[in-house]
Amino acid sequence: NAGVTQTPKFRVLKTGQSMTLLCAQDMNHEYMYWYRQDPGMGLRLIHYSVGEGTTAKGEVPDGYNVSRLKKQNFLLGLESAAPSQTSVYFCASKLDGETQYFGPGTRLLVL
């Protein structure tokens, strides 16, 4: 049971490039979330999903898209990366309780 995994661990992009971050969970969780964490700030919710095939916007969705084609995977896409998207990205999942289980994070640097 690997829990929540994220790939890649670290990535450097140039402004305007695109990429997809993958989050996978093997706990059969319904809910999945993408957050970003910036220095001096807590985590902010980007997008979330309440089940396979569903997605919804969080607090800071602009510049990101998501997809949940399979229950175990939640993808976060950046179509045209900007320096303001330099951050650490965390994925989390939960079943029907309140506790969220977090992945180890992806560090993204946009030059």
Question: In terms of CB distance, is 28 or 99 closer to other proteins?
Answer: 99
- Per the structure block, which two tokens stand in for 16? 């305007």
Question: In terms of CB distance, is 82 or 95 closer to other proteins?
Answer: 95
Q: What are phi and psi of 34, to 5 degrees?
A: -120, 130
CA atoms within 13 A on the CB side of 69: 3
What's the burial of 44, exposed, middle or buried (CB within 10 Å: 0-12/13-18/19+)? middle
- Verify binding: residue 11, other proteins, rule CB under 8 A: no
Span 28-47, contacts to other proteins by CB under 8 A: 31, 33, 35, 40-45
The CB-of-29 to other proteins minimum distance in angstroms stands at 10
- Cis-peptide, bond into residue 83, ω within 30° of zero: no
Span 48-77, contacts to other proteins by CB under 8 A: 48, 50, 56, 58-59
Chain residues in the site for other proteins (CB under 8 A): 4, 31, 33, 35, 40-45, 48, 50, 56, 58-59, 90, 92, 94, 98-105
